[in-house]
Amino acid sequence: MTTQTDGEVQRYRIGRAAKRVGVEPYVLRFWEQEFPHLRPDRSTKGQRFYTEEHVRQFQYIRRLLHEEKLTIKGVRQKLEGRPDAHTQSIVEYVRYELEAIRHLLM
């Protein structure tokens, strides 16, 4: 289920976020432990609510783990070298991703 009100960011419960990422919900809970900056907001009842940015970052982590075959430690190192997507424009984020792809192809 998604929730959204006027002027708010769209938020997803763990099941929906996991489906969008292509993993089971327990994987997102595990990744929250491994990547503390990805901890979602919680309701007063403790339900997790993920933003679209969380989903994008989880998709990126999944790609690094499953396609690039990095370890959790390798993903952490790669994320530390990656510009913070929260503070940059979408153009800068796309530029970074394209440079990473170009580097892989060389």
Long-range contacts of residues 47-54, Cβ cutoff 8 Å, at least 24 apart:
47/13, 47/14, 48/13, 48/14, 48/17, 49/3, 49/11, 49/12, 49/13, 50/11, 50/12, 50/13, 50/14, 50/17, 51/9, 51/10, 51/11, 51/12, 52/9, 52/10, 53/85, 53/86, 54/12, 54/17
Q: What pTM did the predictor assign?
A: 0.68
User: Which domains does the chain carry?
Assistant: 2-105 (1.10.1660.10)
pLDDT at 87: 44
Share of the chain above pLDDT 90, in %: 46
pLDDT digits (tens, 9 = 90+) for 14-62: 999 999 999 999 999 999 999 988 899 999 999 999 999 999 999 999 9
